[in-house]
Amino acid sequence: MIVLLGTAGKIVKGIKEAKALRSLISLCKWQDDSADWQTQIILQNTVAYTQNK
């Protein structure tokens, strides 16, 4: 049960981090529309990072 809770906590943390990243990215959007591909890479790395923790 502790393992499940820990995993759920990591998933929630990852989602929160991804949302924070997205809001940061949306703030930067007006500066640079070519950031889309960078956004995808950042989000993929965040997901991979949180899954490996």
Structure tokens at 53: 């923790």
Predicted pLDDT at 34:
57
pLDDT for the residue numbered 39? 75
First-to-last CA distance in the chain? 18
User: d(Cα 14, Cα 8) in Å, to the nearest integer?
Assistant: 10
CA torsion, ordered 12, 13, 18, 19, to nearest 10 deg:
70
- Residue ranges making up the domain that contains 3: 1-52
- The model carries a pTM of 0.39
Number of domains in the chain: 1
Q: What does the block give as tokens for 2?
A: 């502790």
Q: What is the pLDDT of residues 12-50, one digit of tens each?
A: 787 888 888 888 777 766 555 555 667 778 778 887 777
The residue type found at 29 is: K
